[in-house]
Structure 1
């Protein structure tokens, strides 16, 4: 892809005065923008996309201009350089692509209605007004807008409304001047929104808003979290929240999860709304996403990357800070366990595939962003590296470094090195030297630990799953051992520590030798010989994070072929009495991996189900289906893992109880307790999946405004077992009034995982590929239609089909990397199944 020109090199904007007149009815808008700035050359360019520009003036005089649609630009010839005020008049169209300015649809009291909102990151502000649409081109903004307003409608933007009395006469909404910020952070939302507000202890106005179809009470939780998160960051960063307001708006249609527009953060409804019937998982997810977006108000908004190369740093930092913040304000949640069971395994699996990108990748054109910013790498791995760095520096030095960074660079732009310099100054450590290897190299190391002739030998080598080329990469690895007497880091390929017996004696009260305590550093360990035996012998005495690590690391070693998957089956004996969510989650992943080797409806599957019942029996007896007053949140989460597996394993008691609960709520299934609702819906479909039930689920899906309930229904529907029902589901996927485009990838994934539905869903995706591309527009989830089958397929036929369909698309920059990695992932899975299938089946039958 060609390198895009940077227009700030010729024109530096300082201030935008923007007026928009919006017609929801006609799906059009007209605009006027006056841009004050410095013209460094007489020929300058602004970004625009799909705008009809009718005039460009300076000091009342018409300027020559040329619209360049290919480069999303308008080129302007000025009569002089220096300070100028450019005045442009233009019109544009409101489209459904969820970029620029777009509508969100919802139904209220039987009537279809819509909100209008914006999504300008990464480079979509140009779809709404001519601008230098680059992160370095920071400016202040005065926004005014008018729209075909109806009773109950309001408008929100980055800053509070001013000139309210004038608006009542003219209908023009005017907002206060923003701070100096990048164009991608400007935002507004308008329509029949309602919400609640509060203030932080320092006086910031905090609000939570949604469409009138959502209950006001569903905003209480997010409002409370938002207030407390801002107050935490103010204390932690030692920098006050920089602007007067922080509003949070739930939108019915939204491409990503949330967007950190300064002072007006936008969300998918599922990531902001929490009603009284909610699960622990959904509440924690909402809290984490709010904390993530609010972290961006400092890191990303107050201080912004100079160019998209360093967008990874924005996201990795916010992904780390969301856990730091929520752990501080809700310590009983043990929220770091969420990262250990979601982000960490995602990063470890993806980052072990040869060809995966490094965290820091050069960006030549903003169109590349969606293709390069792999969530498992940029968010999960990047966040893990930030956790690793924070631990290596110490929290106090890390916090002081952030304050110095914000103080020096506020309202400006930076590169990653600027943050490393600030952290180095406060910690006395060379942060850039430590981080470069982790950021610039793809992959991560496998540390092998073994004892030979009274010597502890530690060595590192890049860890791969599947076909690969070893590049002999090395990393500075924080050992983080539970034993004393070891160096802080392993920097060379191999390290020999003499007199292991003396090391044992000095650490005899520390338990089995362990590395990477807390599981914060980005590597895994292969304990060999007596070290492995001691870890497994000591398993019941390990802390729960170490237990998770043992299960996760052994599973990854089996995935890579270092050990056999058959060796993992006996590990299931170790977890029968475990009551923690960390261990339950790791056990679930282990079982899922073993299940790949087992044919459906075979004697081996019957035996595996028997094993699974025995693994979860104690927790099922302890927790059952129904919440007990005063129980810990962790119990609810363990209950979910337990019920899911007991039902999959055909436990008669669990099935009977689930059907009994469904019968109680048959006429009001939305009221099923949210924490177990999906399992009840899935079980009912598995046991009684007639067409009538399928149609009732679809009707409930269309009728509800609760995104969590919709997700549960989609899961339930995926377990159907009739051709007629499957045909019915496929017929609604292209109906935007039933399945919103933003939810297509979730439907795709859940049906592709079911053997009965896989063929039909895979055919649907290939046959309607052009429609999928068009429907998703700028949606960042589009590449998931490549990634999802790569994570699921496990037969030669599917690999051949995958290659036949996607290899001709390798020239598509948006898909090429993920296609190549997808082929390797499926091939590695096939090789593993072929190699280990018989031994795994034997291990199951001998269990």
Structure 2
């Protein structure tokens, strides 16, 4: 026994020594890393060298989880130097040489500086300015966090896919990983004999190697930045679809293929058969042929984003492409919207690329705006006509914080780049383009876009270049000033409008400040150069008048105009601004709500929320004002107020008020459900099937899962029981249920039966690798606010049995329920060290948003204390922490201002 205790003591001492040593080593390594990072260019690389061509050979072995290769980068060294900088992250470089055109070789030492992704190449002698090559031999491990060249396991097989935007190409091969370095590539892939390999261009040769691998050689690319290079490797299904036919714009057919993991190619048909028509609409708009030699669309089982616009090899989260034989309307709309967005990028972003990440809006805003235009042309019935109006008004809710980004935000480091991919870049930028297109005129704006594409084809351009191109085709004044006033400052304008009538016509007094809700930290003292359009509402017809407001206030005189019964201060809802009017004028507008078009109605509904949040109308006034909105027939308008009502109920209402609100909602929406029914067999389905389906889905979810109407909840839950064979066969069977009802049926079952049903739903994950079905199973459980189910959800998030992107789906969905927020927040704090390991590091900077649903000073201070201590570990988190804290402050101050609810 003494011997046992002696060895136990030795063991404990050894463990303590190892732990202490590791602690000191870790601290020492962090100090070294920080010192090295201080020496490296963490923003843009020095301008003394630029690449002109890549010759890349890459061996990818998903089964071993490794890659290796060599790259020869032709460069132009502009000034003599003994020190060269490029990008490389977590890659081992075994050989590094500088090779002149006459084959003189100078060895280089290679070092990644402090795990920064920036590498220094050093020569013992100064290298003269010249054209030469850098030769690097390297190897690495496939990533597991959906960035760079990463590993995916699906159906018992291993695959490798890529996500290189924004700064992740450096994780796959040493490179000059910036968008301004746009060059050609010659690529060879070495893959196992049973595997297939794909990149941006067509394969032109194949040869067998001696070790069970084969080498695939691909055609030289058009000039591309590193972030648009892509690879897919594995035992993949390939669907060789019919070539995209020639058009009036393009005289060559385009080879089209669908690529998916083994066994899933059969589900690509819908995505492939609709690609040609969507592409044709884009070619019509740009008047430029599709720029690349082929088009492959790739369904990736585990994918961080929705999709990625890699030139000629576009990758998608598989739910967007694998639609099977009977896709739901939501699936069709999601596919079409994202597909149009990525295809638009083949021109705007790929053909013409930004110089630096401060102009990422040039890519994303344009593709967001262009997708809605394309979808509306491709299928007018799909409900995209006012998609950009909805998106623009939605993003205004993000554009109110002191740390809100401006559209063209300075980018100084990788954290700034990551934060640039947000609603401001996509939706606000798109809304700005919509507003300025409306001001310039559609035809002139389109001609400016075409001119821009032609000027900078296969090159780079800045925001100023784009504005110059638009100005080239319009006689409208101050276009550049208007553009820049939105690009280079944050916030939402607030337009105050009042008007008077006399015998001479109508006079409108207009002034502008920055819109701010109660509790906002910013100053309202801000102005824009802003197109303002008013609709004069009359009993016979409406009239539009516009002005460019470039002063704090102005007067618009409309000579000879009939005195309107009301004024709508945002014609077509296309202006990126909030508006306010005296109470009597606002009431006149609401009394004539039916005389507005659908987009204007949506703008009114959105603006009522803004007026309430700014304290200019009370809770009770808001709830009464929404009656004509809910009584409307437009699918997106009818349920627009639901989110704000839920916010009021969750944060501002006491128990008695919550009952009142629930009864009020029931009174508004019960009749809607009664007229729609559960199934697509009504007169409304015959008259307008798409809009009716979209509205039915929203109403069913609201009445069953938010209002918990017992009859509907039970009816849906029974459907859910049949789907998973609950307490019977436990076999998954979705064939008998309308796909539109699958998610509400499963979620209703969880609501009714709690934990046992939730476990039964999650158990079905073992029976399917269908990404769409898996997402529905997970979402149905994650919507629950049952404490026991919540514990199950949190355990599942940290389980290694689900895909990485599924963890994000679970967490975001579960946090969206107010009742779960404190529990999830405490769990997050307790499990933080483990969560860091299972959530991709690129997402960790967003984690302060986990506190954004709180509404008290106590929780605000708790969130600040916890995350402030973690900021060094969470790149880019400062911005998200600041906006989360301000959001909590706004909620708590709004709550303090409200004095009960009267309905």
For the criterion TM > 0.5, the same-fold answer is yes
- Asked whether the equivalents of residues 354 and 467 of structure 1 are also in contact (C-alpha less than 8 Å), the reply is yes
The question of 1:225 aligning with 2:274 is answered: yes
2:245 aligned residue = 201
1:212 aligned residue = 262
Task: Specify whether residues 472 and 723 from structure 1 end up closer, same or farther in structure 2 by C-alpha distance, changes over 3 A only.
Answer: closer
The question of 1:637 aligning with 2:694 is answered: yes
Using the alignment, how far apart are the partners of 2:724 and 2:59 within structure 1?
48
Using the alignment, how far apart are the partners of 2:238 and 2:869 within structure 1?
49
Higher alpha-carbon deviation: 676-685 or 290-299: 676-685
1:184 aligned residue = 227
Using the alignment, how far apart are the partners of 2:138 and 2:645 within structure 1?
59
Counterpart of 1:658 (choices 695, 703, 716) is 716
Using the alignment, how far apart are the partners of 1:158 and 1:390 within structure 2?
33
1:772 aligned residue = 835
- Asked whether the equivalents of residues 479 and 489 of structure 1 are also in contact (C-alpha less than 8 Å), the reply is yes
Using the alignment, how far apart are the partners of 2:558 and 2:443 within structure 1?
36
TM-score by length of 2: 0.86
Using the alignment, how far apart are the partners of 1:68 and 1:673 within structure 2?
55
2:864 aligned residue = 803
For residues 589-628 of structure 1, the aligned pairs below 5 Å read: 589-597=643-651, 602-628=655-681
Task: Specify whether residues 355 and 62 from structure 1 end up closer, same or farther in structure 2 by C-alpha distance, changes over 3 A only.
Answer: closer
- Asked whether the equivalents of residues 305 and 413 of structure 1 are also in contact (C-alpha less than 8 Å), the reply is yes
For residues 799-838 of structure 1, the aligned pairs below 5 Å read: 799-810=860-871, 814-836=876-898, 838=899
1:383 aligned residue = 430
For residues 514-525 of structure 1, the aligned pairs below 5 Å read: 514-525=568-579
Using the alignment, how far apart are the partners of 1:399 and 1:167 within structure 2?
51
Using the alignment, how far apart are the partners of 1:722 and 1:237 within structure 2?
52
1:89 aligned residue = 137
Structure 1, unmatched stretches of 5+, are none
Structure 2 residue matching 1:267: 3-state secondary structure = strand
2:48 aligned residue = 10
Using the alignment, how far apart are the partners of 2:146 and 2:590 within structure 1?
51
1:117 aligned residue = 161
1:468 aligned residue = 521
Measure how far apart 1:706 and its partner are: 2.9
Higher alpha-carbon deviation: 423-432 or 570-579: 570-579
Higher alpha-carbon deviation: 300-309 or 198-207: 198-207
Higher alpha-carbon deviation: 224-233 or 162-171: 162-171
The question of 1:335 aligning with 2:384 is answered: yes
Greater Cα radius of gyration, structure 1 or 2: 2
Counterpart of 1:73 (choices 119, 123, 128) is 119
Measure how far apart 1:487 and its partner are: 4.5
2:200 aligned residue = 158
Measure how far apart 1:571 and its partner are: 2.2
1:432 aligned residue = 480
For residues 337-486 of structure 1, the aligned pairs below 5 Å read: 337-341=386-390, 343-371=391-419, 373=420, 375-429=422-476, 430-451=478-499, 456-465=508-517, 466-470=519-523, 472-483=525-536, 484=543, 486=545
Higher alpha-carbon deviation: 63-72 or 48-57: 63-72
Using the alignment, how far apart are the partners of 2:133 and 2:875 within structure 1?
38
Task: Specify whether residues 619 and 413 from structure 1 end up closer, same or farther in structure 2 by C-alpha distance, changes over 3 A only.
Answer: same
Task: Specify whether residues 5 and 782 from structure 1 end up closer, same or farther in structure 2 by C-alpha distance, changes over 3 A only.
Answer: closer
Measure how far apart 1:546 and its partner are: 2.1
Measure how far apart 1:5 and its partner are: 6.0
Higher alpha-carbon deviation: 417-426 or 429-438: 429-438
Residues 717-765 of structure 1, C-alpha deviation per residue, up to 9 Å, x if partnerless? Answer: 2354655443333222112322x22233332232223355333321221
Residues 570-591 of structure 1, C-alpha deviation per residue, up to 9 Å, x if partnerless? Answer: 1243245322112123132342
Residues 319-365 of structure 1, C-alpha deviation per residue, up to 9 Å, x if partnerless? Answer: 11111111111112131334444x22431101122331211111122
Measure how far apart 1:310 and its partner are: 0.8
- Asked whether the equivalents of residues 799 and 826 of structure 1 are also in contact (C-alpha less than 8 Å), the reply is yes
For residues 482-493 of structure 1, the aligned pairs below 5 Å read: 482-483=535-536, 484=543, 486-493=545-552
Using the alignment, how far apart are the partners of 2:467 and 2:597 within structure 1?
33
Using the alignment, how far apart are the partners of 1:284 and 1:605 within structure 2?
35
Residues 388-435 of structure 1, C-alpha deviation per residue, up to 9 Å, x if partnerless? Answer: 121111121112112211111111111111111111011133432111
Residues 428-462 of structure 1, C-alpha deviation per residue, up to 9 Å, x if partnerless? Answer: 33432111111111001111112469653221110
Task: Specify whether residues 797 and 676 from structure 1 end up closer, same or farther in structure 2 by C-alpha distance, changes over 3 A only.
Answer: farther
Task: Specify whether residues 653 and 336 from structure 1 end up closer, same or farther in structure 2 by C-alpha distance, changes over 3 A only.
Answer: same
- Asked whether the equivalents of residues 115 and 190 of structure 1 are also in contact (C-alpha less than 8 Å), the reply is yes
Higher alpha-carbon deviation: 330-339 or 153-162: 330-339
2:746 aligned residue = 681
Structure 1 residue matching 2:423: 3-state secondary structure = helix
Using the alignment, how far apart are the partners of 2:793 and 2:413 within structure 1?
39
2:67 aligned residue = 29
Using the alignment, how far apart are the partners of 1:223 and 1:355 within structure 2?
42
Structure 2 residue matching 1:89: 3-state secondary structure = strand
Measure how far apart 1:232 and its partner are: 1.5
Structure 1 residue matching 2:362: 3-state secondary structure = helix
Using the alignment, how far apart are the partners of 1:599 and 1:818 within structure 2?
27
Using the alignment, how far apart are the partners of 1:137 and 1:473 within structure 2?
37
Task: Specify whether residues 807 and 90 from structure 1 end up closer, same or farther in structure 2 by C-alpha distance, changes over 3 A only.
Answer: closer
2:26 aligned residue = none
Using the alignment, how far apart are the partners of 1:722 and 1:535 within structure 2?
43
RMSD of aligned C-alpha atoms? Answer: 2.5
Measure how far apart 1:10 and its partner are: 2.4
Structure 2, unmatched stretches of 5+, are 1-36, 247-252, 537-542, 726-731
Higher alpha-carbon deviation: 645-654 or 279-288: 645-654
TM-score by length of 1: 0.92
Using the alignment, how far apart are the partners of 2:228 and 2:544 within structure 1?
50
Using the alignment, how far apart are the partners of 1:487 and 1:534 within structure 2?
21
The question of 1:38 aligning with 2:70 is answered: no
Task: Specify whether residues 566 and 403 from structure 1 end up closer, same or farther in structure 2 by C-alpha distance, changes over 3 A only.
Answer: same
Residues 112-154 of structure 1, C-alpha deviation per residue, up to 9 Å, x if partnerless? Answer: 222101122212222222222221112111111112343xx32
Task: Specify whether residues 470 and 436 from structure 1 end up closer, same or farther in structure 2 by C-alpha distance, changes over 3 A only.
Answer: same
- Asked whether the equivalents of residues 222 and 272 of structure 1 are also in contact (C-alpha less than 8 Å), the reply is yes
- Asked whether the equivalents of residues 67 and 139 of structure 2 are also in contact (C-alpha less than 8 Å), the reply is yes
Task: Specify whether residues 497 and 167 from structure 1 end up closer, same or farther in structure 2 by C-alpha distance, changes over 3 A only.
Answer: same
2:810 aligned residue = 747
Using the alignment, how far apart are the partners of 2:544 and 2:285 within structure 1?
33
Structure 2 residue matching 1:9: 3-state secondary structure = coil
- Asked whether the equivalents of residues 682 and 719 of structure 1 are also in contact (C-alpha less than 8 Å), the reply is yes
Task: Specify whether residues 316 and 776 from structure 1 end up closer, same or farther in structure 2 by C-alpha distance, changes over 3 A only.
Answer: same
Task: Specify whether residues 724 and 351 from structure 1 end up closer, same or farther in structure 2 by C-alpha distance, changes over 3 A only.
Answer: closer
- Asked whether the equivalents of residues 462 and 474 of structure 1 are also in contact (C-alpha less than 8 Å), the reply is yes
